[in-house]
Amino acid sequence: MKKFLYAILLIAAATSCSTTTRLSQYPKMYESKPVTILVMPPINNTANVEAKDLLYTSINKPLAEAGYYVISPHLAMDILKSESAYDAEMFIDAPLDKFAQFFGADAVVFSQIEKWTKSGFGIDTKIRYFIKSAKTNEIIFDRTCDLHLDLSQNSSGGGVLGALIDLAASAIVTATTDHIVAARKANAYIFNDIPRGKYSPMFGKDQNVSAAKKDIKANVK
């Protein structure tokens, strides 16, 4: 009996030791403690020209909900365009101290869209997100989302005619809303695991929270 209990304790200890926490996964986020974040326009490596703006305009919400002050994407975009600095590719490997001086940003969010395609009644996306310190240029947060978003809609009935009506309506809705939903879902999935910022009640209290995998592959309805 004692040997059995000892074995259970060993297994429990090994399990607890192997758990990845937010502190161990994102140590530089806790070291740098960014407060103000600037989101750069996504780098779009796909044929879907709308993906860039859809992702960009919805990325601030989950960051704000996590307790960060996010500089308005619309304001940032206008200023970046006026300075001919709209392409994020220009700054991935460049010093970011100018963003700290100009915007007061502590960190800069970059994203790379590698896949954004329709798949049946869903959308397949693959996006890498990473955050760099505006002071040290170090990557302090890095995750990839490989997401299939199921956007199938319930039929309203009515046999073949009803199905055709649903199909026509679905085509219109899909063109205007499905990609927006996909962008919001991808952003929410990624930043759900980010260490909480200064304006969150969990700031400084989530170091031991279990961290999700850095690379996410999921089907979402």
On whether residue 15 sits in a domain, the answer given is no
State the alpha helices, DSSP H only, in 19-137. 22-25, 27-32, 51-58, 60-65, 73-82, 97-103
On whether residue 216 sits in a domain, the answer given is yes
On whether residue 17 sits in a domain, the answer given is no
Domain that holds residue 200: 25-220
Q: What are phi and psi of 193, to 5 degrees?
A: -100, 0
- Position 10 confidence tier, pLDDT thresholds 50, 70, 90: very low
On whether residue 143 sits in a domain, the answer given is yes
Instruction: Give the pLDDT confidence of 173-215 residue by residue, as tens digits.
Output: 445 577 888 888 889 989 999 999 999 999 999 999 999 999 9
Residues 6+ apart with CB under 8 A from 220: 147, 148, 149, 150, 185, 189
The model's pTM: 0.81
On whether residue 3 sits in a domain, the answer given is no
Cα–Cα distance for residue pair 97/103, rounded to 1 Å:
10
On whether residue 53 sits in a domain, the answer given is yes
Instruction: Give the pLDDT confidence of 108-139 residue by residue, as tens digits.
Output: 999 999 999 988 778 899 999 999 999 999 99
Query: In terms of DSSP bridges, do strands 69-70 and 43-44 run parallel, antiparallel, or are they unpaired?
Result: unpaired
Mean pLDDT value across residues 138-154? 84
Under 8 Å between Cβ of 55 and 187: yes
On whether residue 9 sits in a domain, the answer given is no
Domain with residue 125: its CATH number is: 3.40.50.10610
On whether residue 103 sits in a domain, the answer given is yes
Cα–Cα distance for residue pair 107/214, rounded to 1 Å:
19
CA neighbor of 50 nearest in space, from 98, 104, 4, 113: 113
Domains: count for the chain: 1
CA neighbor of 183 nearest in space, from 125, 117, 143: 125
